[in-house]
């Protein structure tokens, strides 16, 4: 296992700058999620770490060693692709053993390691099957066993769960996290799925247009996004613009949204409110010094199992409010409502 360090990494595809001065640490033994929209550079960064792409400038270190001139096969990296890339004519055992056979390990060592890897991914009795005889989740686990059986220092996963249906993806998230913790390997995981990143990762890095926007623990980024892009990309957010005053942000309808703490920059002009932080009610809530309440119009309720999303018109804005189903009985199906939230729930944005 090893820490991965990226310093001022810049990489071009022809004349297009795919990575623009990325500096990021991937701590030893942690599960690190790379998140961003399509074309943000997350897969490019993964492939650069693997050695498939050469950087224009900057440095990549694995376990403290600069790897710019180290070929792919000597970087001791395991990689798992979106399509799993299993050999269809080989059994599960042969697929998992392939990397060890290339390295010409003794047969008893190969057999022992393959057996351990298949037990780890709970496929110990599936060694004789071919890939077409397996479910999508089982093929995903075979690919994972093949990636870790060589005992790499770093494991790179490029959207490995994207081909699975939602229910199976949730199960495999649990399995992937379990296996990563058991092995203790430094893992870098590329995904476009925000919920997946929050569920799996010890730390997250958010990329946009080849640049690192923000990095940190999932809860830290969710509660403290640095700008509007991060607040809207990682989870849902409602945005309110206004005029800064010493006590808070003066909204267009005249309401004052108190600053969440005294350290807020008084030049800030935008706050974000997460949908789950808002309370909906028929009547205007009791006045409270550290609470904001604004009037709106409930336009639509979207049922989604244990929760529902209420779409509320507030001036020119449309708010999303997350409520539990049992709370719907006290709300109208449509019409005037009040939205309220505690001051500390407001997220002050720099842009």
* HEC sequence for the chain: CCCEEEEEEEEEECCEEEEEEEEEEECCCCEEEEECCCCCCHHHHHHHHHCCCCCCEEEEEECCEECCCCCHHHCCEEEECCCCCCCCCCCHHHHHHHHHHHCCCCHHHHHHHHHHHHHHCCCCCCCCCCHHHCCHHHHHHHHHHHHHCCCCCEEEEECCCCCCCHHHHHHHHHHHHHHHHHHCCEEEEEECCHHHHHHHCCEEEEEECCEEEEEECHHHHHHCCCCHHHHHHCCCCEEEEEEEECCEEEECCCCEEECCCCCCCCCCCEEEECHHHCEEECCCCCCCCCEEEEEEEEEEEEEECCEEEEEEEECCEEEEEEEEHHHHHHCCCCEEEEEEEEHHHCEEECC
Q: Which of 144-153, 172-181, 294-303, 331-340 has the lowest mean pLDDT?
A: 172-181
Evaluate if residue 245 carries a pLDDT over 90: no
Whether 136 maps to a domain, the answer reads yes
- Look up the CATH number of the domain holding residue 223: 3.40.50.300
Query: Which of 228, 261, 292 is where one domain is finished?
Result: 228
Evaluate if residue 267 carries a pLDDT over 80: no
My answer on whether 196 and 156 are in the same domain is yes
Whether 233 maps to a domain, the answer reads no
Query: Which of 171, 193, 228 is where one domain is finished?
Result: 228
My answer on whether 294 and 329 are in the same domain is yes
Evaluate if residue 82 carries a pLDDT over 80: no
My answer on whether 137 and 246 are in the same domain is no
My answer on whether 206 and 285 are in the same domain is no
Evaluate if residue 262 carries a pLDDT over 70: no
Evaluate if residue 326 carries a pLDDT over 90: no
Residue 126 domain boundaries: 4-228
My answer on whether 223 and 244 are in the same domain is no
Tens of pLDDT along 136-195? 889 988 999 999 999 999 999 998 887 777 778 888 888 888 889 988 999 999 988 888
Could you tell me if 348 and 259 are in contact, meaning their C-beta atoms sit under 8 angstroms apart? yes
My answer on whether 274 and 315 are in the same domain is yes
Could you tell me if 150 and 100 are in contact, meaning their C-beta atoms sit under 8 angstroms apart? yes
Whether 44 maps to a domain, the answer reads yes
My answer on whether 111 and 199 are in the same domain is yes
Query: Which of 172, 201, 228 is where one domain is finished?
Result: 228
Residue 335: beta bridge partners?
Answer: 298
pLDDT, residue 219, reads: 93
Whether 74 maps to a domain, the answer reads yes
My answer on whether 31 and 133 are in the same domain is yes
My answer on whether 187 and 45 are in the same domain is yes
Domain count of the fold of the chain: 2
My answer on whether 261 and 170 are in the same domain is no
- Look up the CATH number of the domain holding residue 293: 2.40.50.100
Evaluate if residue 351 carries a pLDDT over 70: no
From CA 316, how far away is CA 275, in angstroms rounded?
Answer: 17
My answer on whether 136 and 40 are in the same domain is yes
My answer on whether 142 and 268 are in the same domain is no
């Amino acid at each position: 296992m090893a820490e991965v360090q990226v310093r001022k990494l810049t990489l071009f595809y022809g004349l297009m700058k795919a990575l623009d001065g990325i500096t990021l640490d991937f701590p030893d033994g942690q599960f690190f999620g790379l998140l961003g929209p399509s074309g943000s550079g997350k897969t490019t960064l993964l492939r650069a770490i693997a050695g498939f792409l050469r950087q224009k400038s900057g440095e990549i270190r694995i376990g403290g060693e600069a790897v710019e001139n180290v070929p792919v096969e000597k970087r001791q990296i395991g990689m798992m692709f979106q399509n799993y890339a299993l050999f269809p004519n080989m059994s599960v055992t042969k697929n998992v053993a392939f990397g060890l056979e290339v390295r010409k390990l003794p047969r008893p060592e190969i057999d022992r390691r393959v057996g351990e890897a298949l037990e780890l991914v709970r496929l110990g009795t599936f060694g004789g099957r071919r890939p077409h005889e397996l479910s999508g989740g089982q093929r995903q686990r075979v690919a994972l066993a093949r990636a870790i059986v060589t005992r790499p220092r770093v494991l790179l996963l490029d959207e490995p769960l994207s081909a699975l249906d939602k229910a199976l993806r949730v199960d495999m998230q649990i399995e992937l996290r379990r296996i990563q913790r058991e092995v203790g390997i430094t893992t870098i995981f590329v995904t476009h799925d925000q919920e997946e990143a929050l569920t799996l990762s010890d730390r997250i890095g958010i990329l946009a247009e080849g640049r690192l926007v923000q990095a940190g623990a999932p809860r830290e980024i969710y509660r403290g996004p640095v700008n509007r892009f991060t607040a809207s990309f990682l989870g849902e957010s409602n945005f309110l613009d206004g005029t800064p005053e010493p006590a808070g942000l003066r909204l267009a309808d005249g309401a004052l949204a108190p600053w969440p703490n005294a350290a807020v920059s008084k030049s800030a002009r935008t706050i974000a409110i997460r949908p789950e932080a808002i309370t909906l009610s028929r009547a205007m809530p009791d006045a409270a010094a550290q609470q904001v309440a604004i009037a709106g119009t409930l336009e639509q309720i979207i049922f989604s199992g244990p929760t529902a999303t209420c779409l509320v018109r507030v001036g020119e804005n449309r708010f999303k409010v997350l409520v539990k189903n049992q709370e719907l009985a006290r709300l109208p199906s449509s019409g005037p409502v009040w939205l309220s939230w505690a001051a500390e729930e407001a997220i002050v944005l720099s842009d």
